[in-house]
């Protein structure tokens, strides 16, 4: 449900071994498969929909890159950045020169997406599962969420049963969260639901941020009564589309190395998880670091990097318990829309994108959706949503033949400290998905299909304004 992006090299470029990245939290995204597990930083594996090998000024995405391409650039004529080198207001990585750290000697993020927000190319406006069409070479490949084909476009995913309702001309709350802190910044955009979902369509409808404040919201990112207000850092100059506003990631990664707080097993005299400084001041106590991906690797990665092995409790300690909340102005035109959240990385040549479905209603004709309601839906279990477990309805008492798939862990990235998904066999006592939080020792997890089928929950209109249910 998580995926590693690994940049391995020598000399100035150092090894990054990270597991997962960023994800949209509110509204719930198509990319989450209707699951909240591994939230807030990666609900349902949503943080694995991105693209890698994306530099400013390039016409197309390079895909899986060599470390030299990551360090320099992936096309012959990259663009010049509009966020200056070591800009202390908008920059998020490599902000200070240190003679003892070769990684600070040159501007190695110069062509990475955040240095000219919105200008780097993407392959799909809702991300690609695993970041590219193939897993890639050893050292810089990635895997998709469990049960999702490698390279599947996020725009082809089915809508959730739950749809978010906003009121035309009003203010809506949106949020995203961090699993691996690559810095950078983000924007929210809309595309009419009847249009082709392309990056060009979303660029025509960027949403306006409201005010100069944002919030860290705790309780797995969902507790609206537990918020800390922080200043928002926004930029509208040198962005794409021209004049559109982007917001800097407010959470600083660790300042001890190029890795930003990801495990660095070359540190033989100190802990490989050392985080004694930050790249810029933290907006609130404890709001800094790399996130849960600092030590949540696949078992094969632990074999290659044994000093990076960590316990369930260490994973919980690294995991951020908050989402980053902003307010946006809702357009005046009612209708059905798709929301695309785009996050441009600075540490790496990557762009994260998730999509959600929104209905904008005229004032007085509908009630707005209450944001941040925990949602575990039946999407994975239903044929109408092309669910990955939809073919298991006749396999509840049969584990042989084609039904063996339903009783086998789903393929995809399998982190050591988060459950592996399996269609059947690991439901809660009520038939729903079992509860899990970072730090829990739960090896296998099932999405609650037996309860979905018993409740006849699949027989609803996909994308209707209807909460199928919340399973506790």
pLDDT tens digit string along 24-34?
999 999 999 99
Alpha-carbon distance of 364 to 370, in angstroms, equals 16
Please enumerate in sequence order all residues whose Cβ is within 8 A of that of 364, keeping only pairs 6 or more positions apart, or say none: none
| Residue 103, pLDDT above cutoff 90 | no
At 469, is the pLDDT very low, low, confident or very high (cuts 50, 70, 90)? very low
| Residue 228, pLDDT above cutoff 70 | yes
Residue 225, number of CB atoms within 10 A of its CB: 7
Angle ∠(1,457,39) on CA atoms, nearest 5: 25
Share of the chain above pLDDT 90, in %: 78
Structural domain contains residue 386:
no
Bridge partner list, 337: 192, 358
Beta pairing, strands 227-231 & 164-167: unpaired
Structural domain contains residue 196:
yes
Q: Nearest to residue 183, comparing CAs of 231, 115, 230, 132? A: 115
Structural domain contains residue 464:
no
> 165 vs 172, 330, 342, 358, 393, CA distance in Å?
9, 11, 20, 6, 32
Higher pLDDT, 465 or 177: 177
Alpha-carbon distance of 261 to 314, in angstroms, equals 13
Share of the chain above pLDDT 70, in %: 90
Q: Nearest to residue 174, comparing CAs of 292, 337, 346? A: 337
Structural domain contains residue 42:
yes
Please enumerate in sequence order all residues whose Cβ is within 8 A of that of 41, keeping only pairs 6 or more positions apart, or say none: 20, 22, 23, 47, 177, 178, 179, 180, 291, 292, 293, 319, 320
Alpha-carbon distance of 70 to 136, in angstroms, equals 14
| Residue 382, pLDDT above cutoff 90 | yes
Beta pairing, strands 350-361 & 49-52: antiparallel
The predicted structure's pLDDT at residue 461: 62
Alpha-carbon distance of 4 to 386, in angstroms, equals 26
| Residue 126, pLDDT above cutoff 80 | yes
Q: Nearest to residue 32, comparing CAs of 221, 250, 256? A: 221
What pTM did the predictor assign?
0.93
Q: Is 316 helix (H, G, I), strand (E, B) or coil?
A: helix
pLDDT, average across residues 164-183: 98
The beta-strand segments (E) located in 156-241 are 164-167, 171-178, 185-192, 208-209, 213-217, 227-231, 234-235
Angle ∠(143,111,245) on CA atoms, nearest 5: 90
The predicted structure's pLDDT at residue 74: 65
Total structural domains within the chain = 1
Structural domain contains residue 269:
yes
Please enumerate in sequence order all residues whose Cβ is within 8 A of that of 458, keeping only pairs 6 or more positions apart, or say none: 378, 381, 382, 383, 384, 385, 390, 452
The predicted structure's pLDDT at residue 13: 39
pLDDT, average across residues 283-303: 91
pLDDT, average across residues 54-58: 92
Q: What is the DSSP letter of 278?
A: B
Alpha-carbon distance of 216 to 340, in angstroms, equals 21
Bridge partner list, 452: none
Q: Which helix (H) or strand (E) holds 200?
A: helix 199-203
Higher pLDDT, 133 or 382: 382
pLDDT, average across residues 79-95: 97
Residue 426, number of CB atoms within 10 A of its CB: 20
Structural domain contains residue 439:
no
The predicted structure's pLDDT at residue 71: 59
Q: Among 191-195, 305-309, 465-469, where is mean pLDDT lowest?
A: 465-469
| Residue 468, pLDDT above cutoff 50 | no
> 412 vs 4, 130, 150, CA distance in Å?
11, 9, 8
The predicted structure's pLDDT at residue 62: 82
The predicted structure's pLDDT at residue 15: 43
pLDDT, average across residues 439-453: 96
Over residues 324-373, the pLDDT tens digits come to 999 999 999 999 999 999 999 999 999 999 999 999 999 999 999 999 99
- The range of the structural domain enclosing residue 286 comes to 4-361
| Residue 14, pLDDT above cutoff 70 | no
At 69, is the pLDDT very low, low, confident or very high (cuts 50, 70, 90)? low
| Residue 256, pLDDT above cutoff 90 | no
Structural domain contains residue 424:
no
The predicted structure's pLDDT at residue 17: 45
Structural domain contains residue 331:
yes
pLDDT, average across residues 205-223: 98
């Amino acid at each position: 449900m998580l995926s590693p992006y690994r940049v391995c090299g020598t000399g100035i470029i150092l090894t990054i071994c990270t597991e997962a990245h960023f994800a949209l939290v509110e509204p719930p995204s198509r990319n989450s498969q209707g699951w909240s597990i591994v939230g807030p930083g990666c609900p349902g594996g949503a943080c694995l929909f991105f693209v890698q090998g994306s530099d400013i000024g390039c016409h197309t995405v390079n895909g899986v890159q060599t470390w030299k391409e990551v360090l320099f650039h992936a096309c012959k004529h990259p663009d010049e950045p509009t966020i200056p080198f070591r800009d202390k207001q908008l920059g998020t990585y490599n902000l200070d020169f240190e003679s003892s750290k070769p990684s600070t000697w040159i501007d190695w993020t110069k062509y990475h997406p955040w240095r000219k927000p919105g200008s780097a190319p993407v392959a799909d406006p809702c991300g690609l599962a695993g970041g590219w069409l193939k897993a890639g070479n050893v050292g810089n490949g990635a895997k998709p969420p469990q049960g999702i084909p490698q390279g599947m476009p996020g725009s082809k995913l089915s809508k959730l049963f739950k749809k978010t309702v906003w009121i035309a001309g009003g203010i809506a709350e949106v949020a995203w969260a961090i699993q691996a802190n690559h810095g950078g910044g983000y924007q929210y955009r809309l595309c009419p639901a009847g249009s082709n979902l392309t990056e060009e369509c979303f660029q025509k409808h960027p949403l306006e941020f409201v005010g100069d404040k944002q919030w860290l919201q705790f309780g797995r990112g969902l507790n609206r009564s537990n918020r800390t207000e922080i200043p928002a850092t926004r930029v509208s100059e040198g962005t794409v589309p021209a004049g559109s506003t982007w917001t800097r990631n407010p959470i600083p990664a660790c300042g001890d190395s190029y890795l930003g707080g990801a495990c660095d097993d070359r540190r033989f005299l100190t802990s490989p998880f050392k985080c004694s400084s930050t790249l810029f001041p933290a907006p609130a106590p404890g709001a800094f670091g790399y996130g849960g991906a600092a030590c949540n690797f696949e078992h094969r990665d632990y074999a290659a990097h044994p000093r990076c092995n960590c316990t369930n409790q260490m994973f919980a300690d690294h995991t951020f318990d908050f989402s980053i909340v902003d307010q946006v102005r809702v357009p005046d035109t009612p209708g059905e829309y798709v929301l695309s959240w785009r996050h441009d990385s600075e540490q790496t040549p990557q762009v994260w994108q998730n999509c959600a479905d929104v209905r904008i209603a005229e004032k007085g004709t509908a009630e707005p959706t209450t944001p941040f309601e925990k949602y575990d839906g039946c999407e994975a279990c239903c044929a109408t949503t092309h669910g990955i477990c939809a073919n298991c309805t006749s396999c509840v008492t049969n584990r042989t033949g084609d039904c063996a798939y339903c009783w086998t862990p789903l393929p995809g990235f399998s982190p050591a400290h988060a459950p592996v998904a399996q269609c059947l066999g690991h439901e809660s006592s009520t038939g729903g998905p079992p509860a899990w939080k970072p730090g829990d020792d739960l090896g296998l997890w099932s999405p609650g299909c037996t309860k979905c089928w018993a409740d006849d929950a699949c027989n609803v209109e996909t994308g209707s304004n209807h909460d199928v249910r919340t399973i506790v």
